[in-house]
Chain A
Amino acid sequence: EAQVTQNPRYLITVTGKKLTVTCSQNMNHEYMSWYRQDPGLGLRQIYYSMNVEVTDKGDVPEGYKVSRKEKRNFPLILESPSPNQTSLYFCASSFHGGPTEAFFGQGTRLTVV
C-alpha cells in the first residue's frame, strides 16, 4: 500500500530536549516536505527536499533541521524544542515538484512543556 509513515504519532517532551520525528514514503517520490498545522493558520511549510541531499527552507524553518540521506526518509529534527513548537506536524511527499497531489502522513502531535 502506498503510504507516508510518520513516527511517533504523539509526543510530549520538555523544553530543550532534542527530538526527531521520522518520515518514510514507499512511493519513490522525489519531493518531500514537512508542514506544521496550527489552529486558524492552516498548514505552513517548514522544510522541503527535492531529492537526496537537496533540502531548502520553507516558510517557518526557525528551530528545525532536516536531512535527506535516502530517498525514502526525511526526518525532522528539533535540536532544542520550545513551547512555541507545540503543534501538529505532517510529512508529505509528491512525485515531482510541479502541481501534483501530495500524499500526507498521519501526523505527529507534539507538545513541548
Chain B
Amino acid sequence: AQSVTQLDSQVPVFEEAPVELRCNYSSSVSVYLFWYVQYPNQGLQLLLKYLSGSTLVKGINGFEAEFNKSQTSFHLRKPSVHISDTAEYFCARPLAQGGKLIFGQGTELSVKP
C-alpha cells in the first residue's frame, strides 16, 4: 500500500534559522507528493506539489522541497523561518484515482524568538 512517513512529530527552531521537515514515501510506479500547512484553528492549505518534471519544487511563503527518487524522500525546507511559520505541516500523497490523499502523521513546527 502507498504510504507517507513523517519522521519528526515536533521540530522546535529559532527565528531566522533554517529548517528541514522530513518526509519519506513508499515507492511505486507513479509518485505524486504534496506538502500542506495547517495554521492554528484553520484548515489545510497547499504549500507545494510535485507531479512530474523538476525535482526541486518551490512553493508559497519561501518553502521548497526536493523530490529524491533514490532516497524515496520529499523533504521540506526553508532557509530562514519566521514566527508566523509556526504551524503543523503534512506531507501527503494523492492517489492517481479516487480523489484520495494519504497523509503523513504531521510535524509541528514551533518557531521561537
Q: Which residues of A contact B (CB under 8 A)?
A: 4, 31-33, 35, 40-45, 48, 50, 58, 90, 92, 94, 96-102, 104-107
Contacts and interface: CB of A to CB of B under 8 A. Distances in A.
A41 B90 CA distance: 11
Nearest to A6: B43
Given A98-B97, A102-B99, A43 B90 contact: yes
Contacts, number: 69
For the complex of A and B, 10 pairs with smallest distance between CB atoms: A31-B99, A42-B103, A99-B32, A104-B43, A99-B94, A97-B99, A104-B44, A43-B103, A106-B43, A42-B105
Interface residues of B, number: 28
A107 B99 contact: no
B110 to A, nearest CB: 15
Contact of B101 (A32, A40, A43, A50): A43
A101 B9 contact: no
Contacts of A105: 43
Contacts of A41: 105
Given A99-B32, A99-B51, A106-B42, A48 B98 contact: yes
Given A99-B32, A100-B94, A45 B43 contact: no
Contacts of A35: 101, 103
B96 interface: yes
Interface string B36-64: 10000111111001010000000000000
Nearest to A105: B43
Contacts of B49: 101
Given A33-B101, A40-B105, 5 more contacts: A33-B99, A40-B106, A42-B105, A43-B92, A92-B101
A99 B6 CA distance: 20
